[in-house]
Every structure is written in C-alpha cells, then in structure tokens.
A and B are shown apart, each in its own frame.
Chain A
Amino acid sequence: QEGSDDGPDFLSEEDRGLRQINVDLQTDAALQVDISDALSERDKVKFTVHTKSSLPNFKQNEFSVVRQHEEFIWLHDSFVENEDYAGYIIPPAPPRPDFDASREKLQKLGEGEGSMTKEEFTKMKQELEAYVDFIATCFFNTYLFLCRVAAHPILRKDLNFHVFLEYNQDLSVRGKNKKEKLEDFFKNMVKSADGVIVSGVKDVDDFFEHERTFLVEYHNRVKDASAKSDKMTRSHKSVADDYNRIGSSLYALGTQDSTDICKFFLKVSELFDKTRKIEARVSADEDLKLSDLLKYYLRESQAAKDLLYRRSRSLVDYENANKALDKARAKNKDVLQAETTQQICCQKFEKISESAKQELIDFKTRRVAAFRKNLVELAELELKHAKVIVILSCL
C-alpha cells in the first residue's frame, strides 16, 4: 500500500490500531462503545457514537447517536466537577481540533481547479493526505477518551455518560460562553496557586510522595519531548516537500528532448517522487506513533497530577477539620458539628487515597503498554519504509 499512487491509506492502519485498543480497554459485554463514523464538515467533525449494551437502564440493546466535540467536553467537565470522582484520573478530553489551519488548506485545494502542474497536483495530494491525517488524529483522540470512560469501572456507570450515549437529540451544550470560560480560568489559576501551596505539605505516605515527585518531573519532560518530536516531524515533512520540487524540476529537465541524459533525468525524477511519498509517510508515522503518543501522555499525566492535587486538597481539608475539632473541644462549642465535619473529611481523604493509589498503578500499566506498542510499531514502520526506498533506488 505504501508508495502506491492512491489516496490516504492511513485509515486501515488506524483501524487496526484502534481495534487493538478496543481489546485492551473493554473487557465485558455489558457495555461496548465505539465510534462507527466520523463526518467532517466545514468547521466541525461529527462522530457517530455506537453502543452495544445489555444493561437494563438503556431502552435498546444497540443504538447510535451523533456527537460533536463540545459534547465530549461537556461530558469530561461533568466528571471533573463531580466530587464523587475526585479519586480518579479523569480521562483527558480530546483536544479541540484546529479547524482554522485545515480550513485554509481545504480552500487552497478548491482553488486549484483547472490545469495544474505536476508539482501542484502532488502538493494538493499531499495536503489532502495531511488533512485526512488530521481528521484521523482527531478521531483517534476522541475514540481513546470514549474507550477510557467505558472501561473505567466507576465512570462507565455515570448517568451523564449514559445520557451522552443514548439521548439522540443535541445535548444543547453551547460552547462555554465568556462568563463560564472566565470562571474556568480563575478556577485553574487558583488550582495552580494552590498546587504550589499544597504540594509543600510533605506526604506521610511514601507511595504518594514518590508519585508526586515522579509525575511533576515526568510531565515536564513529556511536554518537552512532545514539542521536540513535533519539530522533528515537521522537518521531515519539509524534506519530503523538497523532494517533490526536485522531482518536478528533474522531470522538466527530462522532457527537454529524448536523448539518453533526458531519459536518465526522467528515471531519477520518478525515484524522487516515490521516495518523497515514503518520506512523507515516515513523517506521518512518526507523528502518529511518537508525537501523538507523547501528546496523549502529556494530557494523561496532567490528569494524574490533577488527581494528586485533589487528594492533597482533601488532606488539607482533613487537617483543617482536625484543627477545628481541637479548637471546638477546647472551647467546648459546636463540638458535634466539628466531629461530623472531621469524620466526613477523613472518609473523603481515605476514599480518595485508596482509589488514587489504584488509579496511579493503572496509569503506569497503561503507559508502559502504550509506549511499548507504539515504539514497536514505530520501529517496524521505519524499517519497512527504509527497505522500500532501498529497493526503489535500484534504478
């Protein structure tokens, strides 16, 4: 499939990859979720979420709804805001696809009607491939979110989630308006400020102390690696673009006349064309297997950090409740109330700690598995591509 003169062939690879995730994450027939279709319109993508379930709370055993990006965000935020889920790593929301950039490119595609030079045609195909890759990444991130939720023992039972899966009308989730966005902004600010204060509290539990140190450093390094990987992938793409131009120029030289040297130029031109396709593929594969992986774990490690933050917060609340109880006992005023508060805080803290521990262990397992899979696939793809180029080059 590689190097052949057809449209994007990434989907089949993606499908394979996704089905593997399917197996990894979903273990019972009680609830199976997937995205059966993705329709890209001018500035949005519509996903068809398909559910198969034997659970009694659904009206049917199998059904589908259409969802857009905002609705996924709504679901994600509802998890985050739910106090009951404080002890879980909330699966990171799919990032908002940057439609402005791709819209520009789509426009350019449309403008190239009529006669095109070979170079322009190849460029157009490239842009089309890139656009499809972009949709694929979008799809992949969304699908991953969905699967993580469906696989989580607690979150999969969430009512909002079921509504999300079943309600076949628009969830009327208009994008966050300014006021809400501002509130979010403040919340995040406070959180990060708090994060500084709260993380100063040394943890009694070694496990969490280690996790905190680990996650903070890991998160930063993944961020850096993700950015550098992106740059590297883009450079690769530039090189592929240059091959395209060189191939065209050689072709022009080759069509001057029919002497031997011109035939030679034509052959070399062809070689550059084929090599370009493969280099473009190399770049795209690096993007998918490396850059996207790192970006995903950037988001997940952030979600894990958020979990630790919430636990620390509840620890602070617990300690404050303790202090308040002592004070109340000393003054002998509102003791019962203070006792109740302290009890609640204690339970909350312990509950979060217990589930957090499991979540973080699962996080590590998932992370190792995902890296292994992607690194193996990356190496296999790089090998395949290099071998093809060597074969092609035997003029």
Chain B
Amino acid sequence: MAAEREPPPLGETRPTDFEELEDGEDLFTSTVSTLESSPSSPEPASLPAEDLSTNSSGPKPAEIMLDDDREDLFAEATEEVSLDSPERNPILSPEPTPAITPVTPTTLVAPRMESKNVTAPVIFDRSREEIEEEANGDLFDIEINVSDPEKVGDGMNAYMAYRVTTKTSLSMFHKNEFSVKRRFSDFLGLHSKLATKYMHIGYIVPPAPEKSIVGMTKVKVGKEDSSSTEFVEKRRAALERYLQRTVKHPTLLQDPDLRQFLESSELPRAVNTQALSGAGILRMVNKAADAVNKMTIKMNESDAWFEEKQQQFENLDQQLRKLHASVEALVCHRKELSANTAAFAKSAAMLGNSEDHTALSRALSQLAEVEEKIDQLHQEQAFADFYLFSELLGDYIRLIAAVKGVFDHRMKCWQKWQDAQVTLQKKREAEAKLQLANKPDKLQQAKDEIKEEIEEWETKVQQGEKDFEQISKTIRKEVGRFEKERVKDFKTVIIEYLESLVQTQQQLIKYWEAFLPEAKAIA
C-alpha cells in the first residue's frame, strides 16, 4: 500500500500519474455516480463486484464526484491550493487543518490511511478489495452519544459540560471507543469551522443547535427547577442529533477538525461564538449584507434542475414550518391535558372521600387512581410528541436553511465568475485602446502590464467557471443525499412516534379494563 507515499507536488508530475491510472481506471469509471438517477439508488447497475446495496448507513465510498473526465480529479487538487488564498475565510484552526484541506473526493477513500494527508495518486493504488470492504459498512461504523451534562463553575461564568462518547471501528481514529468533555461553545466552534470550509463549495453542513441566552442563564444562575432540567435535556439531545448527522456525512467525517473534536482531550476555546462578541456582531452584519446581495443577484439559471429544487425547498420549508407550529401546539395542549387530568384526579379522590355510600366511594377513589395514571401517560406522550416529532421538524427547518445557504453560495460563485468575465472584457478593451494610442515611451510598459492583467483575469475566468461547475456538481450530489436522509429520518421518527401513540392507547385499555369491574361492583 502506498500509504506512506509523499503527496506529490501538484502540477508538473501529474502526467506521470496518469499511467498508474490504467490499472485503477476500471474502478472509477465504473463508479461514476449518475447524479440524475433517483435518490433511492445512487449506484448505477454497472458496478461490478461491489455489494453496495445492503449498506443503508449512507452514501458509499464510491460515490465520488468523478465524472467522465478523470483529469478533473487532479484539476481539483490544483484547486485546493488556490482555495487557500486569502479569499477563504480566515477562521481556520491551526494544525489539524492542513494547508491543503482535502475536501474533494480524494479523501473519501482515505479512512484506512493513518491521518496522513492523502491526495489523488494514492487512491489508484488501492485494491478493489479494500474498496469493497469499506463499502460493506465499515466506512460509516461510528456511533456518537452525548450524555452526562455537568455544571462546571459558578455564577455567570458557569457552563454545562457534556460527555461526547464515540464508538467506532474506523481506523482513522486512534481508539475504538473514547470520550471527551465538551461544552456548547465547542460544538458551535466545530460547526463554524466546518461551515467555513465546506459550505461555500456546496456541501450541506448540518447546523448546530441554537443558542438560548434565557435558557442558559437559568442554568448558570442555578435554578434547579424542571424547566431548566428540561432545557438541558433538550440541548443534550439536540447536540447528539447534531453530531450524528455530521458524522453521517462522508466528506465531513474525514475532516480533521471533526476528528479533533471527537478525540482530543483539550480543545482550544472557540471564542468567536460568544453571543455578543465582536465577531458575532460582524457575522450578523455579514449575514444581513448577504441577504441584500441575494436579492440583487439575478442569475441566468441555465439549469432547470436548480430552479426546480429551490422551489421545492421553498415549499417544503413552508410546509414544515406549519407542521412544526401545529406540533408545538399539540405539545402545549397535551401538557395542559396532563395537568388538568391530575387536578381532576385529586378532585375525584376528594369526592370519593366525602361520598357516604361505601361502594360508590371506593369506585370514585379507583376512578381517581385511573385518572392519575392517565395523567402520567399524557406526560409521557407529550415527551414523545416533543422529542420525536417536534424536534425532528425543527432540525429539518434548520437543515433546509443550510440547503438554501448552499444554493446562495452557488449564486455568489456564479456572480464572481460573471464579474471576472466583465473585468476581463474591460481589460481587453483597455488593451485594444492601448494598441491604438500614440505614447511610445509609456506604451510598452503599459502594454506589458495589461497583458499580464489579461492573463491573470483569463485564469480567474477559467477558475470561476470551474468553481461554478464544481459547486453545481457538489450541490446536486448533496441534495440527492439530503433527500435520501430526509426520507429515512422522517419515516423512522414518525413510525417511532406513531408507535408511542399506540402504546399510550394500549395502556389506556389496560387501565379502563381494570376499572370497569369496580364500576360495575357499585351496588
């Protein structure tokens, strides 16, 4: 295995690597994922010995964004370098984020390698068996739990620390089972890093749970009531779902920042996520500016798919919001029902006490007991209403916002490309003007300058086009993946929820069946 191979310098040596491709060629032409195929089966039938259909834990390793043109692979690697230019948002964590962040397909097959930097040529050295093995479920064998919320410190500087436990057989991690302590801002910091790195090139990065100043203040101040316990539990569950979604994403799973988050015992404090910090305000301003920009970008959508999808997501967003509001109302009313049932139970017990007919008195007491048990049922049901149904909807509403964000990035990318074209045009015009001008002394220097600039902008235009194509490709794939996940998620959760409803009814049956003979015994 070529695991220890030095990543070759990009650019010149590329052509030699092409030879190696002859061997591994078959692997990748046959694993072209036809993105246009239906979301339920991403693998084209042409896949040879790989048994990919059984694994339901997510996209297969072979679902690489390779297209017919394998050379793109190397071009993309080249792109990596340019992506590191100052245009990139500087919020990058140091060491674990290597200079060349492997974002592209090159790293999808990397997990078997020790945390070295892997680039294109290495893939082609891997044997078919290795890929098969991974495809058969090993790749996404990772389970995350968030548990044991613990208050650390006192007063306004206090915070909750959560235990993040990872169980995995993936070799990119140092151990099979390990846990660390993380606080909420650590999660936000992780999300911030991932979003910065991946969203602007089209990856849908799962959003982190929302901040809640009120909720957190209560906890800090030390209010030990049920509402703050509920708040902590809600947050814990949300953090768990957040991490589980993030690790399910094949690209994000490879990210060293994510690995560091899960593994390292110490993590540099993510200060930029503080609610009212300067960076926070700057982010808010940027978001607002983005919103304004979005309105003014009128893109010539050449691809109907994107227009359709955007409309679909708009509709879905609206529907989910409506449903979410209804479910929240249900949670509220169910809690009220529980409280009212408890009150009635007490009242019925009192009535039973004052009833002077013995058998009736006993029956009324039994009724009170039944109602008390039913109150418990209502509480449990409200719990399920919320944690299963309501939170799922909330998560997806936020996810769709992330999807919309990714579409927006594509628009910005397009805009950048267009702007480069315009600038190039201007430069060319300027050059033409210079050709006609009559100032010999300055002329040559100016001509040279403008030639250089034109070259520069030609490159930028090419780059812009490539970026745009790349992000479009990525988004198509991501949307396909998102739809699949959504279907699975919804089905699983809704079925679980319906089961909870049925269980409640079955319990009700038990209680009333026990009560009926008591009522009949009144004589």
- Interface positions of A (Cβ within 8 A of B): 210, 214, 217-218, 221-222, 224-225, 227-229, 231-232, 234-236, 238-239, 241-243, 245-246, 249-250, 252-253, 256, 259-261, 264, 268, 271, 275, 364, 367-368, 371-372, 375-376, 378-380, 382-383, 386-387, 389-390, 393, 395
Contacts and interface: CB of A to CB of B under 8 A. Distances in A.
Interface stretch (B178-186, B214-222, B459-467, B499-507): B499-507
16 contacts: A221-B353, A239-B337, A242-B330, A245-B329, A252-B319, A252-B322, A256-B312, A256-B315, A364-B357, A368-B522, A375-B519, A376-B516, A379-B515, A386-B508, A386-B509, A386-B512
Contacts of B487: 259-261
Given A379-B515, A380-B516, A224 B333 contact: no
Given A224-B347, A239-B333, A375-B363, 17 more contacts: A218-B351, A221-B347, A222-B351, A228-B343, A228-B344, A232-B340, A234-B340, A242-B333, A249-B322, A256-B316, A367-B357, A367-B360, A368-B357, A379-B519, A387-B509, A389-B501, A393-B498
Interface in B345-385: 346-348, 350-351, 353-357, 359-360, 363-364, 367
A133 to B, nearest CB: 19
Contacts of B343: 228, 231-232
Q: Mostly helix, strand, loop or mixed at chain A's interface?
A: helix
Contacts of B387: none
Contacts, number: 148
B232 interface: no
Interface in B280-316: 312, 315-316
Contacts of B397: none
B326 A242 contact: yes
A375 B506 contact: no
Contacts of A364: 356-357
A227 B347 CA distance: 9
Nearest to B344: A228
Contacts of A214: 354, 356
Contacts of B195: none
4 shortest A-B CB distances, which residue pairs?
Answer: A235-B337, A249-B323, A242-B330, A375-B519
B156 interface: no
A234 B340 CA distance: 9
A246 B491 contact: no
Contacts of B36: none
B330 A239 contact: yes
A256 B323 CA distance: 14
Nearest to A376: B519
A259 B484 CA distance: 12
Contacts of B346: 228
A387 B513 CA distance: 11
Contact of B347 (A225, A238, A371): A225
Interface in B478-523: 486-487, 490-491, 494, 498, 501-502, 505-506, 508-509, 512-513, 515-516, 519-520, 522
A64 to B, nearest CB: 37
Given A235-B333, A239-B337, A246-B326, A372 B509 contact: no
Interface of B: 40, 312, 315-316, 319-320, 322-323, 326-327, 329-330, 333-334, 336-337, 340-341, 343-344, 346-348, 350-351, 353-357, 359-360, 363-364, 367, 486-487, 490-491, 494, 498, 501-502, 505-506, 508-509, 512-513, 515-516, 519-520, 522
B498 A238 contact: no
Contacts of B355: 218
Contacts of B326: 242, 245-246, 249
Instruction: Output the residue of B316, B356, B359 with the most chain A CB within 10 A.
Output: B356
B336 A253 contact: no
A264 to B, nearest CB: 6
A238 B326 CA distance: 11
B449 to A, nearest CB: 56
Nearest to B382: A239
Given A249-B323, A376-B516, A232 B341 contact: yes
Contacts of A380: 516
B276 to A, nearest CB: 36
A371 B360 contact: yes
B344 A390 contact: no
A236 B381 CA distance: 13
A395 B502 CA distance: 11
Contacts of A217: 354
A252 B506 CA distance: 30
B347 A389 contact: no
A383 B512 contact: yes
Contacts of A368: 357, 359-360, 522
Nearest to A271: B498
Contact of A225 (B312, B315, B351): B351
B522 A371 contact: yes
A222 to B, nearest CB: 6
Contact of A383 (B327, B364, B494, B513): B513
Contacts of A386: 505-506, 508-509, 512
A382 B377 CA distance: 15
Contacts of B350: 221, 224-225
A70 B144 CA distance: 71
A249 B319 contact: yes
Contacts of B522: 368, 371-372, 375
A197 B312 CA distance: 76
A393 B356 contact: no
B502 A261 contact: no
B323 A238 contact: no
Nearest to B521: A372
A346 to B, nearest CB: 30
A250 B344 CA distance: 33
Contacts of A241: 333
A367 B522 CA distance: 11
A156 B80 CA distance: 100
A364 B355 CA distance: 10
A383 B370 CA distance: 13
Contacts of A236: 337
B234 to A, nearest CB: 20
A246 B519 contact: no
Nearest to A246: B326
